[in-house]
Amino acid sequence: MGTVLVTGGSGFIGSHCILQLLAAGHRVRTTVRSPGREGMVRAMLRQGGTEPGDRLSFVQADLQRDAGWPEAVAGCDHVLHVASPFPPDLPKHEDELIVPAREGALRVLHAARDAGVRRVVLTSSFAAVGYGHAPQPAPFDETRWTDLDGEGVLPYVKSKTLAERAAWDFIAREGGALELAVVNPVGVFGPVLGPDYSTSILLVQRLMDGAMPGCPQLCFGVVDVRDVADLHLRAMTDPAAAGERFLAVAGDFLWIREIATTLRQQLGASARKVPTRQLPNWLVRLAALRDPAVRQILPELGMPKNASSAKARRVLGWSPRSPQEAVVATAESLLQLGLLKGGAKARA
């Protein structure tokens, strides 16, 4: 098998993609922003049960600079472009997210095309699909795009939408023989391999820590990171995936209160701090006056949404775990790694 480049290998999704690529027999090259992160990536893979040895190599490259990308893609058949900024707090200016996301995707695509890479799989997001729209009863599918002129579209949502649009435009205009497939995950949960993980994991961490006074009326999709990685590999190798985008969602969207109830029911005493009372919207809006992080969620308060993974299941044979299993696996890994406040590292 050939070499696969994974951008952002120290990230939550990227590290799980590396695990599954190695298990499938591929050689893997991954990009890191600094050489010091190599040890962290290897530690995360050991936590995942893999010692890659010389089947994993590293290249230093940054999404905001040209240096390193020709070396990163050289000799690769496929690229999984997973890296993209996703901070827990609002940036001072939206371009702090938009520019590296869009320009980074284009840097990777340019380098991949010039190196004769066969296919790039881009990690986009449900953020590029289901925002800026009025509430609707029908689930979102891959034909929909976020309306950037809609109400309450945040910088992260803009960054993912503009980056994916730019990627498709590049392929259409100057991609040559390069193929593109896109994976659009909802909130990514599942087993944490180390301290560098998806912002969505913070929800479970804060619920388990008792850091939230209650459950805001927020509804969002859940998918296990192991299934997101599996979908990337399917999109990388299946001929039918070329030129397509695939929503990665495990089932119906959940309200935060449903997530909290699942944790309490499945984890017993370990989840004793998890709140299950519903916070009224007026109280959340009051808290947002002093907390910018809370302000980010206001446009989504009380808005039910849903999305369908029918295309990924039909075209690629994808079969994800349940949302509940993903949520519980998240909490169990946080307990095992000692990443909850006041909790000693749990026994494996």
pLDDT tens, residue by residue, 119-143: 999 999 999 999 999 888 899 999 9
Between CA 101 and CA 156 the distance in angstroms is: 9
Residue 31 near residue 60, CB atoms below 8 Å: yes
pLDDT score for 347: 28
Query: Which is more confidently placed, 70 or 94?
Result: 70
Q: What is the pLDDT of residue 88?
A: 57
Question: In the predicted model, what is the mean pLDDT of residues 86-112?
Answer: 86
Q: What is the mean pLDDT of residues 86-94?
A: 70
pLDDT average, residue stretch 316-337: 97
Q: For 218-274, how does the pLDDT look when each residue is reduced to its tens digit (9 = 90+)?
A: 999 999 999 999 999 999 999 999 999 999 999 999 999 999 999 999 999 999 999
With cut-offs at 50, 70 and 90, classify the pLDDT of residue 291: confident
Q: Which residues contact 88 (CB under 8 A, 6 or more apart)?
A: 199, 202, 293
Token pair belonging to 270? 């370990």
Domain CATH code at residue 87: 3.40.50.720
Active site residues: 160
In a domain, 142, yes or no: yes
Instruction: Indicate whether 78 belongs to any domain.
Output: yes
The three-state secondary structure class of 139 is coil
**Which domain range does residue 35 map to?**
3-191+222-250+306-321
**pLDDT for position 344:** 40
Tokens of 16: 């799980």
Domain assignment present for residue 293? The answer is no
Asked if 125 and 187 touch (Cβ cutoff 8 Å), the reply is no
| R_g of the chain, CA atoms, integer Å | 20
Residue 239 lies in a domain: yes
Which residues does residue 79 pair with via DSSP β-bridges, in sequence order? Answer: 5, 120
> Is the distance from CB of 70 to CB of 111 less than 8 angstroms?
yes
Q: Say which residue the tokens 């999109």 belong to.
A: 235
Q: CA-CA distance, 63 to 40, in Å (whole number)?
A: 19
Question: pLDDT grade, residue 348 (50/70/90)?
Answer: very low
Give yes or no for a contact between 222 and 322, defined as CB atoms under 8 angstroms apart: no
Is the predicted pLDDT of residue 93 greater than 90, yes or no? no
Pick from 240, 234, 208: which is nearest to 341 by CA? 208
Average pLDDT on 201-207 reads 94
What is the CB neighbour count within 10 angstroms for residue 75? 13
State the average pLDDT for the chain.
Answer: 93
Bridge partners of residue 274, in order along the sequence = none
Is residue 174 a part of any domain in this protein? yes
DSSP state of 321: P
Specify the pairing of strand 254-255 against strand 219-220: antiparallel
Residue 345: pLDDT over 70: no
- Rounded to two decimals, what is the model's pTM? 0.95
200 lies in some domain: no
Q: What is the number of structural domains in the chain?
A: 1
Determine, yes or no, domain membership for 8.
yes
Which run of H or E residues covers position 210? Answer: none
pLDDT at residue 90, as a whole number: 67
Inter-residue contact 48 to 25 (CB < 8 Å): no
Closest CA to 212 of 343, 341, 346: 341
Question: CB-based contacts of 113: which residues, under 8 Å, 6+ apart?
Answer: 174, 175, 176, 177, 178
pLDDT at residue 136, as a whole number? 81
Residue 241 inside a domain? The answer is yes
Q: How many CB atoms lie within 10 A of CB 294?
A: 15
> What b/e string do you get for 218-233 counting C-beta neighbours within 10 Å, with b at 16 or more?
bbbbbbbbbbbbbbbb
Q: What are the helix (H) ranges across 152-277?
A: 155-174, 201-209, 225-237, 256-267
